[in-house]
Amino acid sequence: MEMGRREFLKVLGGTGGGTALGGLVASGVSLAPSVARAQQLRIRDAKVTPSICPYCAVGCATLVHSIAGRIVSVEGDPRSPHSEGCLCPKGAAIFQLHVNPNRPTQVLHRAPGATEWEVWGLERAMDRVAELVKKTRDETFVEKIGNGKQVNHTTSIFALGGATLEIEFNHIHQKLMRGLGVVAIENQARI
Ligand code: SF4
């Protein structure tokens, strides 16, 4: 559908600036060619790597587009028999998991009572976590409960993994936690 300046302004006036695109679409203007063209330019010459969304056990299939080792787009894989190219809003935002200026890249520590975060080296942070885990476990480990039943656990440590970590990491992580006697273990939906 052709649209003159007058009709265009009418649509804007009738829908408000924030919903102008919706108004255009509602009036019969197809944005599909422009959207398809923009998408084509963004992923032209990109290497395509099939993958899956890391966020939940649905495991929707994705196509990761990269140019010179940098991810430029992540979208649903239409070949997937169960998701057929669809991603929920969380999955549709996977790109921002990789390319995001707000993503912390250093260990940040805020001491009890402090108001500011302090940058720590990774070694120092790992040593501190190990120190606190050992201290807490030593202080709270229970071998037997009241009726004499052997439990070998501590309920004072909670282990939180994450869906965006690799399956292998989460597997080793929960093995380590179980070995320590931790019973409250959560790795989101992967294990
Ligand atoms: S796209 Fe949504 S539903 Fe699919 S695996 Fe990711 S989080 Fe789960």
pTM over 0.75: no
> Which CATH number does the domain housing residue 81 bear?
2.20.25.90
Which range of residues forms the domain containing residue 62?
A: 34-101
Q: For residues 52 and 55, what is the distance between their CA atoms, to the nearest angstrom?
A: 9
Residue 140 covered by a domain: yes
Residue 5 covered by a domain: no
Residue 74 covered by a domain: yes
Residues 184 and 153 both lie in one domain: yes
Residue 111 covered by a domain: no
Residues 87 and 51 both lie in one domain: yes
Query: Atom 8 (ligand 1): residue with closest C-alpha?
Result: 56
Ligand 1 centroid from CA 190, angstroms: 12
Query: Of 86, 101, 116, which one is at a domain's C-terminal end?
Result: 101
List all residues whose CB is within 6 A of at least one atom of ligand 1.
53, 55-56, 58-60, 87-88, 90-91
Say how many domains are in the chain: 2
Q: CA torsion angle for 142, 147, 151, 153 (degrees, to 10)?
A: -30
Residues 130 and 96 both lie in one domain: no
**Would you write out the chain's pLDDT as a tens digit for each of its 191 residues?**
555 555 555 555 554 444 555 565 566 777 777 766 666 677 888 999 999 998 888 889 999 999 999 999 999 999 999 999 999 999 999 999 889 999 889 999 999 999 999 999 999 999 999 999 999 999 999 999 999 999 999 999 999 877 777 778 888 888 999 999 999 998 775 43
Q: Which pLDDT belongs to residue 11?
A: 52
